Structure 1
Amino acid sequence: MKEYQTITEISGPLVFAEVDEPVGYDEIVEIETPQGETLRGQVLESSEGIVSIQVFEGTGGIDRNASVRFLGETMKMPVTEDLLGRVLDGSGNPIDGGPEIVPDQRQDIVGEAINPYSREYPEEFIQTGVSAIDGMNTLVRGQKLPIFSGSGLPHNELALQIARQATVPEEEEGGEEGSEFAVVFGAMGITQEEANEFMDDFERTGALERSVVFMNLADDPAVERQVTPRLALTTAEYLAFEKDYHVLVILTDMTNYCEALREIGAAREEVPGRRGYPGYMYTDLAQLYERAGRIEGKEGSVTQIPILTMPGDDDTHPIPDLTGYITEGQIVMDRDLNSQGIEPPINVLPSLSRLMDDGIGEGLTRGDHGDVSDQMYAAYAEGEDLRDLVNIVGREALSERDNKFLDFADRFEQEFVQQGYDTNRSIDETLDLGWDLLSMLPKEELNRIDEDLIEEHYREEEPEAVQAD
């Protein structure tokens, strides 16, 4: 281990030092200040004669007299099954007052790419208990399905609801032993108020027992924000592929993560890309998102739900735009639905789960899930179009058929999407509710569902009962 006192420049979260031997990219660094404080950092760029180091705790107290030690290894996460139930900071240190972590292994936080040949195709259903997701945009084990939200929308409440309700139905019914369900929750750049809200909910509901929580707060260094999701995913990979857990990774807020990338890129004086974000942001996000999946011969799986707030509700902004290219769909939260008091305010029309068809199908007790979902999509979309027409000609000018589709759209939002943050619906309950709504429409309008299923599940009395009410 060599020690240098050759710091030449300090710029924002970065320290530049001269060296006389090659230094590895991502190598961990210890910087000892003249006051005796030891700070940790990571090599961000290494060239002949000089290296740039990003300092996790910030560069306060560092001057040119500080000592720099290169440790010769990359950053590693101490992992063990005992991490379940623990709360850690954004650098992986316990902050819950519990004992120090005694690791079984120390794993590189960069992770290892899953060999495409060994990657199993995701096709097993995860039940979140949220009808707008389970019924219309189903989450599948090993998938990466982001939530596109906006500033002020209740994405935190939805994240907490999914964290405490998500289950693998087959395992609940006595599936293979050892394939338990766990949640890894990585928070980046959140406020202390949000952190308190998350922790209160985790502790109140008992969800913390099966969770590992990483907390990077808004006043923590931006550099740490780049490390937090990698620590969370390394922990998830260990639990999934070493301990056979089905792990759901919730990362919030990816916008804060990307802002940290931009801040550090500016400190390095990089040529900015679109809207000032680094040109390599696509690659960087892909390195995180592609760590979801299943491996042949392993029982466990890693499923990701990244949450991002779209600046200005703009889905063409670089962060949601690039995320949409990498992930397999998106769940979109809607400001208009939120203003109507719909909880959760998920707009199913622009939402999409590209792997949904592989994770659902026949065998459920309420008929073919895919047909029911397709029919509800079509009916709700038609009702939405008719709302625009009503604004022009008035409801009285519409036919009886059109009025039924308008009523369907209203009830779909008020009864199917609306469920509150404490209601946990099974997939059978969700599909039951779907059939209740579809029974408002004439049978001949249900042109996306097999006739045998219509005969079996259509509720003849439903329209009359609604009218009587």
Structure 2
Amino acid sequence: MSHSDIRELRGPLLVVGGADGVGWDEFATIDMAGGESRHGLVLEVDRDLATLQVLESTDGMSLGGIGIRFDGRPLHVQVGTEWLGRVCNGRGEPLDGGPPVTGTATLPVSGWPLNPVYREPPAEPVLTGISVIDALTTLVRGQKLPIFSVPGLPHLTLATQIAAQATSSGQSFRVVFAAMGLTHADIAYVRDRLEERSADGELILLLNAADDPVIERILTPRIALTIAEHLAYTEGHDVLVIMSDMTSYAEAVREVSAARREIPARRGYPGYLYSDLATLYERCGRVKGHDGSVTIVPVLTMPAGDITHPVPDLTGYITEGQIVLAPDIAARGIYPPVDVLSSLSRLMRSGAGAGRTREDHLDVAAQVMAALARARAATELAELVGEAALSDTDRSYIAYRTLVEEGLFNQGTEESRSLEDTLTRAWAALAALPKQELTMVPTVFLDRYLPNGGGHP
């Protein structure tokens, strides 16, 4: 049955009358006079009026000559291993010249609610090959760990490097990269950088460009997570989902909210932004009785570097830590420019240590962080009174800071380091400090791992 009583076109929204029996979030096909078809989702139902968000925008539409066919169910997407190695746009349509992606099952893009009773706590690490993350903010299988950045920093480079290098101890590891609102130059960089992993059949790319319809941006992460859930819980893979940039996603939500004339909350974002973000972030984890897992790394840019902005603020409430990139560290030529004293992985203790990474991992990470905090204080003191006035111990902390930044934190954009290499570099930096300052590491580890400490280097 086709509905043609179009009452209003407003931005990306279309209001149709006579839509009795239509449900919220229902998918619809919009037939235009010239034979073109577009697609929409029901956002709101008020008696016989239904408000749809048009995925391809309402440009070129007029009130006459439009017919709308409702599917009677929410938007579904075909899922399966056929997605692996494919490059698609934000709606899942191929960009790689291949045929449309088919699958072994069809699932709603909004996902299914997961009973918390069936969740397994995260326990094993996901190693990114990036020293500062693996050593100090270890990502754990089933975790949601965002990257907070500011415009102009290499957050996309870091996210792409993680997608190219990440591995876990499971049988198979797969990556879904969902790009939202990227420039064409950035999309070309992502495709080139991830070409090898994509060719190996380990990666799926969903690419929403900045000039693509805004509404598509709202669907992109949902489609990515639906594909990932099937790969994880049905096919048994460990799946890493990287979503960049969540600020672009939130701005798309704000634009649709404004078109619906909803009362805005903080910074013009709708009051339900928290629950909207939670519907994405909470789709990760491990499930009892299933081998696979979904791990999420959202990337977001903080406008003007404001960590209290609604998007990073709400993201921080939902997720389990954050990796913070800082302009002053980037200015010193360090990549990735991670501010480790502002960064945290709340599940690190669940995924690191004896039996998971290495016995000394948690202790050496704590010592590196504590020493870095002392080194920062010593550096600030040196700026006031001059380095010559400092004690020998304080000067050793300043030397340590240089060593740890250049030896451990700084690495190439295509350099992948083993965990052994990473921890060896951490011990090498700690060797710049007097042995009596290393109070957070057991003596047995000092003897075994500290260079010239009485054991193996």
Number of equivalences: 454
Structure 1 residues 34, 339: closer, same or farther in 2, change over 3 A? same
| Partner residue, 1:12 | 11
Q: Shift of the alpha carbon at 1:205? A: 5.9
**Separation of aligned partners in 1, 2:391 and 2:71:** 75
Aligned partner letter, 1:12: G
Matched, 1:62 2:61: yes
**Separation of aligned partners in 1, 2:339 and 2:46:** 49
Q: How do 1:260-271 residues align onto structure 2 when only pairs under 5 Å count?
A: 260-271=252-263
Q: Shift of the alpha carbon at 1:113? A: 2.1
Q: Structure 2-normalised TM-score?
A: 0.97
Matched, 1:372 2:382: no
Structure 1 residues 49, 366: closer, same or farther in 2, change over 3 A? closer
**Helix, strand or coil at the partner of 2:339:** strand
Aligned partner letter, 1:99: P
Structure 1 residues 309, 208: closer, same or farther in 2, change over 3 A? farther
1:217 to 181, 199, 209: 209
**Helix, strand or coil at the partner of 2:335:** coil
Where structure 1 has 5 or more consecutive residues not aligned to the other structure, the ranges are: 172-178
2:284 to 264, 275, 292: 292
Q: How do 1:388-399 residues align onto structure 2 when only pairs under 5 Å count?
A: 388-399=380-391
Q: Contact between 1:29 and 1:71, CA under 8 Å: does it hold in 2?
A: yes
Shifted more, 195-204 versus 139-148: the winner is 195-204
Shifted more, 34-43 versus 299-308: the winner is 34-43
Structure 1 residues 267, 20: closer, same or farther in 2, change over 3 A? closer
| Partner residue, 2:45 | 46
**Separation of aligned partners in 2, 1:329 and 1:366:** 22
Q: Shift of the alpha carbon at 1:100? A: 2.5
Shifted more, 193-202 versus 299-308: the winner is 193-202
Q: Shift of the alpha carbon at 1:275? A: 0.5
**Separation of aligned partners in 2, 1:290 and 1:302:** 10
2:178 to 179, 186, 211: 186
Q: Contact between 1:90 and 1:224, CA under 8 Å: does it hold in 2?
A: yes
**Helix, strand or coil at the partner of 1:320:** helix
Q: Contact between 1:163 and 1:207, CA under 8 Å: does it hold in 2?
A: no
Shifted more, 241-250 versus 206-215: the winner is 206-215
Q: Contact between 1:164 and 1:207, CA under 8 Å: does it hold in 2?
A: no
Structure 1 residues 406, 433: closer, same or farther in 2, change over 3 A? same
Q: Shift of the alpha carbon at 1:6? A: 0.7
**Separation of aligned partners in 1, 2:35 and 2:60:** 10
Aligned partner letter, 2:343: S
Q: How do 1:247-396 residues align onto structure 2 when only pairs under 5 Å count?
A: 247-363=239-355, 367-396=359-388
**Helix, strand or coil at the partner of 1:214:** strand
| Partner residue, 2:34 | 35
**Helix, strand or coil at the partner of 1:88:** strand
Aligned partner letter, 1:219: D
| Partner residue, 2:156 | 156
Q: Shift of the alpha carbon at 1:108? A: 0.6
**Separation of aligned partners in 1, 2:410 and 2:356:** 23
| Partner residue, 1:25 | 24
Q: Contact between 2:287 and 2:293, CA under 8 Å: does it hold in 1?
A: yes
**Helix, strand or coil at the partner of 1:16:** strand
**Separation of aligned partners in 1, 2:19 and 2:49:** 8
Aligned partner letter, 1:133: I
- Residue identity over aligned pairs, in percent, reads 46
Where structure 2 has 5 or more consecutive residues not aligned to the other structure, the ranges are: none
Q: Shift of the alpha carbon at 1:367? A: 3.8
Q: Shift of the alpha carbon at 1:22? A: 2.4
Q: Structure 1-normalised TM-score?
A: 0.94
**Separation of aligned partners in 2, 1:161 and 1:116:** 32
Shifted more, 358-367 versus 249-258: the winner is 358-367
